[in-house]
């Protein structure tokens, strides 16, 4: 919908049938305030911008909060000029929030930028988007800014300049839509100015510095007049009956006001009461959006006069609100005419400011009574103008906030400083999908993390296991060979298992298979842990001899790791059997021989092979070494079986 199109009030939002060919005539009443449902490809509903902003309130608020546009806006502080542009955003009031309004304006005071988020619908009236617009300024004030801060940066410096008494002229002008805080800010500035004015003109040392100042040393007289311009007529707000004043053409395009009352306050209190008196007489008219909306411009002239000469002039203008057509829908013809008049005066003002900011020699101030009354402020050399653009934060007033800010930027000639960006808004359904899409990914991430942790634990355990194994290997390597075992002192030799069971030492002197040595070293033979079995090399008689010798030495040493298997009753015909084929009795015997513990009933060799290292340690009453002997020994049994079978295969193939 074009921005100039007249939007209907929310309650009268249009629910029109789509013009699409063949669209069913399903029309939903907009009064329900519900979001338009997806009625299929042929139907859509049209709502004015305000209605759609309310209907999609949550989505717009979420998107505004998430948007990165505000954080990325460039610095917008304007360079010095005769025209200063200030922006002040008023707070969002509680009653506005209750009506469903939300904040669409953000102010970055550090960057002097004001960003307005325009909440709009695509032409399909289903998809939403945000149109961000950022405006530069001399200084921007947020809803948190205090009046004192605003004064210190705006009216304060102008007042100080005027009070130098060197004929300076300054204009402070409030511009903005009705209800945006023009009068609020102006009142605060007037109060602060009344306080400062007298101290500034009486300050010792300030007078007499300039040769331009006549009779320096005498504080000037303060002369105040307040004029209200409504339409083409003016009224004196300091006369009790708001007398109409007449304007006399000065020939140079300027005007002089005849019959206006001029007050000469002597103290801050008197000046303040003058301001208040004028304000109370200000013409106000109730409108749909602001019960005290001003329908006129209020021009307050503060002159500093010395010896009938004006040595300083500060003009404060509280402009009438720029009325919106839709807000004046219920107004009378007279009120609508007033609105048109206000707009034309604002336009004339705008033209003058543009010319002044651009340094043009011709200022078109003759176009309106208002600009003629402000002729001095536009034409005096060195004149300063400060405009405070006030804006409302509500979504309903978006277009007016943008209009106000665009206008003041054009007055200053900095339209190219304005930046805009479009951003699509996620619907609730899209947000839901995003969240449900994120959840599985998150779960995956968690699973991967736990797998990684598990892998780390396994790796740590394997390292631990390898270290222990290496320690045992080193220990074994440091033990003298079986042949010399008998010569070792008894204390250094492995002790036989105790039959009492009170102390059950584990024989660690097992004989792991060194990988770089043949499995069946000549003359010794590798004795299988399975009873009596050994790898045969050479003749059976020689092997028998070696086996007997080995058995004997094993008995002498108290039984080493494998020697303890002598006489076991579970040998196979070929002399070795794989642990997985062991019965419970065979497995029990093996375990008893190795770690002197009783295997639980029903556990056979196959089950035993499945025991982890940790389980072996637990089974051995947390005895790490015993657990390792058991776990490791089983695997060596398996290795041994494989080695024997390989040997057999080699023999069959005739390679040995």
Ligand X SMILES: Nc1ncnc2c1ncn2[C@@H]1O[C@H](COP(=O)(O)OP(=O)(O)O)[C@@H](O)[C@H]1O
**Which of residues 180 and 588 has its CB atom nearest to ligand X in the complex?**
180
Number of residues that bind ligand X (CB under 6 A): 16
DSSP per position, 542-588: HHHHHHHHHHHHHHHTT--TTGGGTT-S---TTS---GGG--HHHHH
- Which of 239, 290, 328, 410 binds ligand X (CB under 6 A)? It is 290
Tokens of residue 602, six digits? 């029903």
- Which of 33, 91, 382, 538 binds ligand X (CB under 6 A)? It is 91
Is residue 183 at the binding interface for Mg ion, with CB under 5 A as the rule?
Answer: yes
Is residue 178 at the binding interface for ligand X, with CB under 6 A as the rule?
Answer: yes
Contact 96, 394 (CB under 8 A): yes
- Which of 18, 51, 67, 294 binds Mg ion (CB under 5 A)? It is 294
Q: What distance in Å separates the CA atoms of residue 438 and residue 433, rounded to the nearest whole number?
A: 8
Least distance (Å) between residue 180 CB and ligand X: 5
- Piece of the chain touching ligand X by CB under 6 A; list 45-53, 95-103, 285-293, 371-379: 285-293
Q: Sign of dihedral through CA atoms 21, 23, 29, 33?
A: negative
Least distance (Å) between residue 188 CB and ligand X: 9
Q: Sign of dihedral through CA atoms 622, 628, 633, 638?
A: positive
The entry of ligand X, Mg ion, none near residue 46 (CB within 5 to 8 angstroms by kind) is none
**Which of residues 301 and 322 has its CB atom nearest to ligand X in the complex?**
322
Which element (helix H / strand E) includes 483? Answer: helix 482-485
- Piece of the chain touching ligand X by CB under 6 A; list 203-211, 288-296, 400-408, 534-542: 288-296
**Which of residues 180 and 396 has its CB atom nearest to ligand X in the complex?**
180
Q: What distance in Å separates the CA atoms of residue 115 and residue 113, rounded to the nearest whole number?
A: 6
Is residue 400 at the binding interface for ligand X, with CB under 6 A as the rule?
Answer: no
Alpha carbon of residue 311 to chain centroid: 54
Which element (helix H / strand E) includes 630? Answer: helix 624-652
**Which of residues 318 and 637 has its CB atom nearest to ligand X in the complex?**
318
Least distance (Å) between residue 141 CB and Mg ion: 17
Tokens of residue 79, six digits? 């360079």
Number of residues that bind Mg ion (CB under 5 A): 3
**Which of residues 287 and 520 has its CB atom nearest to ligand X in the complex?**
287
Judged by CB under 6 A, the chain residues 420 through 459 that form the site for ligand X are none
**Which of residues 179 and 339 has its CB atom nearest to ligand X in the complex?**
179
* DSSP summary character for residue 91: P
Least distance (Å) between residue 119 CB and ligand X: 22
Cα separations (Å) of 341 from 247, 296, 510? 18, 10, 111
The CB density around residue 567, as the number of other CB atoms within 10 Å, is 10
CA-wise closest residue to 128 among 63, 65, 33, 71: 63
Is residue 322 at the binding interface for Mg ion, with CB under 5 A as the rule?
Answer: no
Least distance (Å) between residue 10 CB and ligand X: 21
CA-wise closest residue to 614 among 455, 510, 462: 462
Least distance (Å) between residue 184 CB and Mg ion: 8
Judged by CB under 6 A, the chain residues 304 through 333 that form the site for ligand X are 321
Longest Cα separation, the chain: 147
- Piece of the chain touching Mg ion by CB under 5 A; list 290-298, 373-381, 386-394, 475-483: 290-298
Closest residue to ligand X using C-beta atoms: 181
Binding string, 54-83, against ligand X, x = CB under 6 A? ------------------------------
- Which of 184, 347, 465, 570 binds ligand X (CB under 6 A)? It is 184
Annotated binding site for ATP: 176-183
Tokens of residue 206, six digits? 């300030």
The entry of Mg ion, ligand X, none near residue 181 (CB within 5 to 8 angstroms by kind) is ligand X
Is residue 149 at the binding interface for ligand X, with CB under 6 A as the rule?
Answer: no
The entry of Mg ion, ligand X, none near residue 480 (CB within 5 to 8 angstroms by kind) is none
Q: What distance in Å separates the CA atoms of residue 49 and residue 9, rounded to the nearest whole number?
A: 10
Is residue 183 at the binding interface for ligand X, with CB under 6 A as the rule?
Answer: yes
Which element (helix H / strand E) includes 468? Answer: helix 428-478
Annotated binding site: 176-183
Tokens of residue 545, six digits? 């001899």
Query: Cβ neighbours of residue 438 under 8 Å, at least 6 residues apart?
Result: none
φ and ψ of 438, to 5 deg:
-75, -35
**Which of residues 290 and 367 has its CB atom nearest to ligand X in the complex?**
290
The entry of ligand X, Mg ion, none near residue 55 (CB within 5 to 8 angstroms by kind) is none
Is residue 90 at the binding interface for ligand X, with CB under 6 A as the rule?
Answer: yes
- Piece of the chain touching Mg ion by CB under 5 A; list 98-106, 109-117, 181-189, 484-492: 181-189
The entry of ligand X, Mg ion, none near residue 176 (CB within 5 to 8 angstroms by kind) is ligand X
**Which of residues 390 and 566 has its CB atom nearest to Mg ion in the complex?**
390
Query: Cβ neighbours of residue 259 under 8 Å, at least 6 residues apart?
Result: 236, 243, 245, 246
Is residue 393 at the binding interface for ligand X, with CB under 6 A as the rule?
Answer: no
Q: What distance in Å separates the CA atoms of residue 536 and residue 633, rounded to the nearest whole number?
A: 21
CA-wise closest residue to 194 among 252, 272, 260, 301: 272
- Which of 49, 111, 182, 596 binds ligand X (CB under 6 A)? It is 182
Least distance (Å) between residue 430 CB and ligand X: 36
**Which of residues 118 and 293 has its CB atom nearest to Mg ion in the complex?**
293
Cα separations (Å) of 642 from 368, 462, 637? 111, 23, 9
Least distance (Å) between residue 294 CB and Mg ion: 4
CA-wise closest residue to 289 among 157, 394, 364, 388: 394
**Which of residues 45 and 287 has its CB atom nearest to ligand X in the complex?**
287
Placement of tokens 């008894």 in the chain:
490
Is residue 181 at the binding interface for ligand X, with CB under 6 A as the rule?
Answer: yes
- Which of 56, 180, 401, 554 binds ligand X (CB under 6 A)? It is 180
Least distance (Å) between residue 299 CB and Mg ion: 14
* DSSP summary character for residue 77: B
CA-wise closest residue to 245 among 375, 371, 232, 253: 232
- Piece of the chain touching ligand X by CB under 6 A; list 176-184, 235-243, 263-271, 420-428: 176-184
The entry of Mg ion, ligand X, none near residue 179 (CB within 5 to 8 angstroms by kind) is ligand X
Characterize 336-374 residue by residue with b for buried, 16 or more Cβ atoms within 10 angstroms of its Cβ, and e for exposed: eebbebbeebbebbbbbbbbbbeeeeebebbebbbbbbb
Binding residues (CB under 6 A) for ligand X: these are: 90-91, 176, 178-184, 290, 292-294, 321, 390
Binding residues (CB under 5 A) for Mg ion: these are: 182-183, 294
């Amino acid at each position: 919908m074009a921005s100039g199109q007249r939007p209907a009030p929310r309650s009268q939002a249009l629910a029109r049938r789509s013009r699409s060919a063949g669209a069913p005539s399903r029309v939903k009443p907009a009064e329900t305030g519900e979001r338009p449902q997806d009625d299929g490809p042929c139907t859509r509903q049209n709502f004015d911008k305000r209605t759609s902003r309310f209907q999609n309130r949550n989505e717009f608020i979420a998107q505004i909060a998430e948007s990165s546009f505000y954080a990325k806006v460039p610095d917008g502080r304007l360079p010095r000029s005769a025209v200063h542009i200030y922006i002040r955003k008023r707070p969002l009031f509680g009653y506005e929030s209750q009506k469903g309004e939300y904040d669409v304006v953000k102010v970055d005071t550090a960057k002097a930028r004001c960003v307005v988020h325009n909440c709009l619908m695509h032409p399909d009236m289903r998809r939403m988007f945000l149109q961000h617009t950022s405006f530069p300024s001399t200084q921007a004030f947020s809803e948190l800014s205090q009046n004192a801060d605003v004064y210190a940066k705006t009216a304060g410096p102008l007042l100080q300049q005027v009070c130098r008494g060197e004929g300076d002229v300054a204009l402070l002008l409030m511009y903005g839509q009705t209800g945006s805080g023009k009068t609020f800010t102006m009142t605060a500035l007037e109060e602060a100015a009344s306080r400062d004015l007298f101290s500034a003109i009486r300050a010792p040392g300030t007078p007499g510095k300039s040769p331009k100042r006549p009779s320096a040393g005498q504080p000037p007289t303060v002369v105040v007049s307040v004029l209200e311009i409504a339409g083409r007529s003016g009224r004196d707000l300091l006369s009790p009956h708001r007398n109409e004043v007449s304007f006399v053409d000065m020939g140079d395009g300027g005007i002089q006001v005849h019959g206006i009352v001029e007050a000469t306050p002597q103290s801050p209190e008197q000046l303040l009461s003058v301001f208040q008196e004028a304000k109370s007489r200000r013409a106000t008219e109730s409108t749909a959006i602001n019960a005290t909306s001003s329908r006129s411009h209020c021009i307050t002239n503060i002159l500093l006069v010395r010896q009938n000469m004006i040595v300083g002039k500060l003009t404060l203008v509280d402009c009438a609100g720029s009325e919106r057509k839709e807000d004046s829908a219920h107004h009378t013809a007279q009120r609508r005419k007033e609105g048109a008049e206000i707009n034309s005066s604002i336009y004339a003002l705008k033209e003058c400011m543009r010319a002044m900011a651009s340094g043009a020699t011709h200022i078109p101030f003759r176009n309106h009574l208002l600009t003629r009354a402000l002729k001095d402020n536009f034409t005096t050399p060195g004149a300063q103008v400060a405009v405070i653009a006030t804006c409302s934060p509500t979504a309903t007033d978006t277009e007016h906030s943008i209009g106000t800010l665009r206008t003041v930027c054009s007055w200053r000639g900095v339209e190219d400083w304005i930046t805009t960006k479009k951003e699509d808004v996620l619907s609730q359904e899209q947000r839901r999908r995003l969240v449900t899409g994120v959840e599985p990914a998150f779960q995956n991430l968690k699973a991967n993390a736990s797998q990684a942790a598990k892998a780390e634990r396994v790796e740590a355990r394997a390292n631990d296991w390898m270290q222990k194994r290496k320690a045992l290997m080193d220990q074994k390597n440091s033990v003298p060979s079986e042949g010399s075992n008998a010569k070792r002192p008894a204390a250094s030799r492995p002790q036989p298992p105790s039959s009492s069971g009170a102390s059950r030492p584990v024989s660690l002197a097992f004989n792991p298979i060194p990988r770089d040595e043949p499995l069946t070293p000549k003359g010794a033979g590798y004795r299988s842990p399975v009873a009596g079995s050994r790898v045969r090399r050479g003749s059976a008689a020689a092997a028998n001899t070696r086996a007997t010798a080995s058995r004997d030495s094993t008995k002498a040493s108290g039984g080493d790791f494998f020697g303890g298997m002598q006489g076991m009753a579970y040998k196979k015909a070929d002399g070795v059997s794989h642990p997985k084929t062991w019965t419970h009795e065979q497995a029990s015997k093996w375990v008893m021989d190795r770690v002197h513990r009783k295997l639980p009933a029903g556990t056979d060799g196959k089950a035993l092979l499945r025991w982890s290292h940790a389980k072996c340690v637990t089974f051995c009453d947390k005895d790490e070494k015993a657990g390792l002997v058991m776990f490791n020994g089983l695997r060596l049994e398996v290795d041994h079986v494989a080695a024997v079978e390989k040997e057999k295969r080699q023999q069959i193939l005739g390679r040995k």
